[in-house]
């Protein structure tokens, strides 16, 4: 019997990198500001339970998720501390908020009324729209916001807002961010002047922590940067930050064959051998989150420190690569899809560039079928 994990395609988590990133981000922030990591979307594909459990072990006790079901998954795995649901929760799911001791965002005042009417006392954070215009009650609606603090079934433990251009450094973007911060701050001051006991405040996500750490209130909702990545290679190269990627992805050689001149491989006969080629099939595909846009030599993988281009069309569960130039490859060998192999490295930035997106999307779309394992 074989019962090793990581037999097909898997994510390796570098917990030393995670710890260093946490330390660095914490150090950037004012002393009173604690990290409240964003572990939504399966912790940006890393594996929410493994990541959050490790963060608990590092002493972190506040987290944010996007949905109730993400919060439930963490509670079922024994995660302790505060778990804030950032998104809208349908009234049908309100009992689950209570049962699993989750904290709900009040996405506007009318939603606050819905939560208040549900009967039981709920832990909530009030979400303020300071200029992103996505979720939150408009900061200028002071009376309406103040009315939330009189609702007997809302236990308001936090109030927060979200910045929409904290990653930009143009004059306009910096000015807009400052305005968002001012709207939020002014609201807090007005509530205080009205005698309201203002709860914990938070405003910053990753780029906020990096570019405006002084705006940190009681928490910073760090996501992408904690995983050791910024959204684009350009941002990362410009920043020179000591962040270390936490995630690598590996798979295996499933089968190797020789193609003769003129033979095709894969769906749509998209790849045709112009000379004798050696083609290998690897055990990972787009259902695992490998973008189909990497087809036709846009992407590549690493085997034993050598680069092998992806050929033909990426399939749901498998991908074809050209290993003609690489000697000694055998069935079952390890293939690096993201990460280091010898002197070479393929980064999430490379995949994001090759597919015209940001790293956040590549990571958050990694499939549930990938196994996740930790290394130290
Ligand atoms: C996703 C999210 C975050 C984390 O964002 P990063 O840029 O990944 O740090 C923080 N706050 C809110 C409201 C979010 O939706």
**In contact, 295 and 310? CB cutoff 8 Å:** yes
- Render pLDDT for 145-187 as a digit per residue (tens, 0 to 9): 999 999 999 999 999 999 999 999 999 999 999 999 999 999 9
Nearest atom in ligand 1 to 360's CA: 8
Instruction: Kindly report the protein residue whose alpha carbon is nearest to atom 4 of ligand 1.
Output: 223
* pLDDT computed for residue 119 by the predictor: 79
* pLDDT computed for residue 240 by the predictor: 86
Known catalytic residue at 212? no
Residue 213: both structure tokens together: 């750490």
Rg (alpha carbons) of the chain, rounded to whole number: 24
Nearest atom in ligand 1 to 207's CA: 7
**In contact, 245 and 275? CB cutoff 8 Å:** no
On the question of pLDDT at 2 being above 50, the answer is no
Mean pLDDT of 27-36: 97
- Render pLDDT for 83-92 as a digit per residue (tens, 0 to 9): 999 999 999 9
**In contact, 289 and 251? CB cutoff 8 Å:** no
Instruction: Kindly report the protein residue whose alpha carbon is nearest to atom 15 of ligand 1.
Output: 86
Residue 336: both structure tokens together: 């690096």
Indicate the average pLDDT of the chain: 96
- Render pLDDT for 119-153 as a digit per residue (tens, 0 to 9): 789 999 999 999 999 999 999 999 999 999 999 99
Residues 159 and 203: their CA atoms lie apart, in Å, by 9
The residue to mutate among 35, 64, 135, having the most atoms of ligand 1 within 8 angstroms of its beta carbon, is: 64
DSSP state of 33: P
List beta partners, residue 252.
334
Residues 241 and 325: their CA atoms lie apart, in Å, by 36
Asked if residue 224 has its Cβ within 6 Å of ligand 1, the reply is yes
Q: Judging by DSSP bridges, how do beta strands 219-220 and 34-35 pair with one another?
A: parallel
On the question of pLDDT at 252 being above 60, the answer is yes
Instruction: Kindly report the protein residue whose alpha carbon is nearest to atom 6 of ligand 1.
Output: 223
Bin 214: left if φ > 0, else alpha if -120 < ψ < 50, else beta: alpha
Asked if residue 36 has its Cβ within 6 Å of ligand 1, the reply is no
Mean pLDDT of 223-233: 97
Angle made by CA atoms 367, 370, 374, in degrees to the nearest 5: 125
What's the gap between Cα 206 and its chain centre? 11
**In contact, 291 and 314? CB cutoff 8 Å:** yes
Residue 235: both structure tokens together: 């941002």
The residue to mutate among 130, 205, 212, having the most atoms of ligand 1 within 8 angstroms of its beta carbon, is: 205
Q: Which residues contact 367 (CB under 8 A, 6 or more apart)?
A: 287, 288, 289
- Single out the residue of 333, 322, 339 nearest to residue 253, CA to CA: 333
Known catalytic residue at 111? no
Nearest atom in ligand 1 to 205's CA: 9
Residue 274: both structure tokens together: 């112009």
Please give the share of the chain, as a percent, with pLDDT higher than 90: 96
Please give the share of the chain, as a percent, with pLDDT higher than 70: 98
**In contact, 87 and 66? CB cutoff 8 Å:** yes
Mean pLDDT of 12-28: 98
Positive or negative torsion for Cα 103, 109, 114, 116:
positive
* Catalytic residue of the set 34, 40, 181, 250: 40
- Render pLDDT for 253-299 as a digit per residue (tens, 0 to 9): 999 999 999 999 999 999 999 999 999 999 999 999 999 999 999 99
* Catalytic residue of the set 28, 267, 340, 344: 267
């Amino acid at each position: 019997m074989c019962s090793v994990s990581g037999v097909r395609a898997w994510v390796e988590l570098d917990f030393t990198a995670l710890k260093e990133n946490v330390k660095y981000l914490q150090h950037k922030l004012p002393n009173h500001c604690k990290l409240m990591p964003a572990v939504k979307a399966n912790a940006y594909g890393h594996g929410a339970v493994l990541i959050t459990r490790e963060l608990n072990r590092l002493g972190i006790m506040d987290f944010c998720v996007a949905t109730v079901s993400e919060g439930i998954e963490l509670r079922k795995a024994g995660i302790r501390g505060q778990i804030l649901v950032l998104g809208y929760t349908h009234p049908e799911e309100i009992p689950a908020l209570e049962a699993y001791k989750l904290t709900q965002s009040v996405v506007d005042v009318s939603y606050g009324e819905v939560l208040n009417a549900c009967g039981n006392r709920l832990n909530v954070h009030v979400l303020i729209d300071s200029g992103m215009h996505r979720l939150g009650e408009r900061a200028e609606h002071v009376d309406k916001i103040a009315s939330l603090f009189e609702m007997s079934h809302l236990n308001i433990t936090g109030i927060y807002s979200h910045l929409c251009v904290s990653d930009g450094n143009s004059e306009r973007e910096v000015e807009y961010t400052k305005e968002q911060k001012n709207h939020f701050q002014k609201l807090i001051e007005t509530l205080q002047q009205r005698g309201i006991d203002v709860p914990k405040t938070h405003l910053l996500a990753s780029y906020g922590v990096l570019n405006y750490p002084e705006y940190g209130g009681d928490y910073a909702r760090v996501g992408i940067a904690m995983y050791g990545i910024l959204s684009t290679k350009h941002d990362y190269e410009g920043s020179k930050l000591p962040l270390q990627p936490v995630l690598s992805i590996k798979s295996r050689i499933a089968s190797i064959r020789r193609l003769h001149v003129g033979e095709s491989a894969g769906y749509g006969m998209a790849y045709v051998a112009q000379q004798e080629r050696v083609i290998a099939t690897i055990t990972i595909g787009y259902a695992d989150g490998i973008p189909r846009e990497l087809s036709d030599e846009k992407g590549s993988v690493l085997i034993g420190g050598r680069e092998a281009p992806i050929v033909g069309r990426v399939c749901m569960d498998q991908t074809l690569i050209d290993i003609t130039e690489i000697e000694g490859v055998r069935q079952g060998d390890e293939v690096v899809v993201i990460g280091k192999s010898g002197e070479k490295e393929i980064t999430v930035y490379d995949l994001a560039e090759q597919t015209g997106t940001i790293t956040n999307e590549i990571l958050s779309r990694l499939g549930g079928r990938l196994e996740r394992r930790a290394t130290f």
